Amino acid sequence: MLTLALLAGAVYTVMAFVQRSETLVTERCTADVGTQHAELATDQAANASLITAVAVQRGLPPRAASIALATAMQESKLRNIDHGDLAGPDSRGLFQQRPSQGWGTTEQVMDPYYAANAFYDALVKIPGYETLEITDAAQRVQRSAFPTAYAQHEVMGRAFASALSGQTPEAMQCTLRAPQEAGQAGTVGAGLAQAYGALGTFPDGDSLVVEAGGSQAWSVAHWAVANAKDLAVMQVDVAGRSWLREDQAGWQASDAPEGQVRITLAPGGTGD
């Protein structure tokens, strides 16, 4: 009986330590590109990944995503908010677009995918936007009462755009607690399809495999990391590198093949 009691006590102690360790984890996502370092909360990173993926889907340069991310950070803190301010009471969404100024209906501008496309539709009409200062390009789209405010988010915009567009491999990582639910391959596939358009994907056990190479492969891989919290992603493998959720040590060498991204989910999902 004493042995069983000691064993039960040891198990309880281990479980309590694991739970405490999980509680102490500060969930966040970072992008490191050269000397540039930027950090976002996990929900902000997920929104940044969609905004950047839409630019990739449209064939726009990473500069477009840098401008969009700096703009959304200034306007909404990269959160899909359902309210405006005194200057724009009907402003809504990631970019605080105003239905009264022709950006679309309230329902439309609250859709992050629609909002990102609407921003890019306006951006690409600006001649030479690629060579403008980020704050200048953002202001020409937004026409804000605070035209220089976008500049403070340039480092974040550049770093996350470079990582999430796939221009800088293994630049994006997130520190996360263990998932509470199983992942669903169908949900991941639907998210990828909206963000990037048609991609070749197929399920393989607890993984979803995406056929992609080069910068697109790294864009998809970083998208998966940025959305790992909500999608219960446990591991991402791409081009000889792997990100493991439980490791928290960044990208590691692996035997991951070229030409595909493997997104492994917490087990138990049906894939529907």
Look at residue 249 in the predicted model and tell me its pLDDT. Answer: 81
Six token digits for residue 9: 């006590």
The torsion angles phi and psi of 141, rounded to 5 degrees, stand at: -80, -50
Residue whose structure tokens are 């100024």: 101
DSSP string, the chain: -HHHHHHHHHHHHHHHHHHHHHHH---EEEEEETTEEEEE-HHHHHHHHHHHHHHHHTT--HHHHHHHHHHHHHHHTTS--S---SS-TT-BTTTTB-GGGTS--HHHHTSHHHHHHHHHHHHTTSTTGGGS-HHHHHHHHH--SSTTGGGGGHHHHHHHHHHHTTSSTT-EEEE-PPPSS---HHHHHHHHHHHHSS-EEEEETTEEEEE--HHHHHHHHHHHHHTHHHHTEEEEEETTEEEETTT-S--EE--PPTTEEEEEE-TT----
Rounded-to-integer distance, Cα 40 and Cα 225, Å: 13
Look at residue 129 in the predicted model and tell me its pLDDT. Answer: 96
Residue boundaries of the structural domains of the chain: 30-164, 177-265
Rounded-to-integer distance, Cα 97 and Cα 223, Å: 25
- Per the rule left: phi > 0, alpha: psi between -120 and 50, beta: everything else, 232 is left
Rounded-to-integer distance, Cα 219 and Cα 230, Å: 18
The torsion angles phi and psi of 214, rounded to 5 degrees, stand at: 60, -140
Angle between helices 112-123 and 134-142 (to 10 degrees): 110
Look at residue 31 in the predicted model and tell me its pLDDT. Answer: 98
Question: One digit per residue, pLDDT tens: the chain, 272 residues?
Answer: 544 444 444 444 434 434 444 455 699 999 999 999 999 999 999 999 999 999 999 999 999 999 999 999 999 999 999 986 756 788 899 999 999 999 999 999 999 999 999 999 999 999 999 999 999 999 999 887 677 889 999 999 999 999 999 999 999 999 999 999 999 999 999 999 999 999 999 999 999 999 999 999 999 999 999 999 999 999 999 999 999 999 888 899 999 999 999 999 999 754 44
Smallest CA-to-CA distance from 166 within 130, 214, 208 is with: 214
Query: What's the angle, vertex CA 153, arms to CA 196 and CA 97, rounded to 5?
Result: 60
- Number of other CB atoms surrounding residue 9 within 10 Å: 10
Look at residue 269 in the predicted model and tell me its pLDDT. Answer: 55
Look at residue 154 in the predicted model and tell me its pLDDT. Answer: 95
* C-alpha pair distances (Å), 144 with each of 102, 149, 272: 15, 9, 43
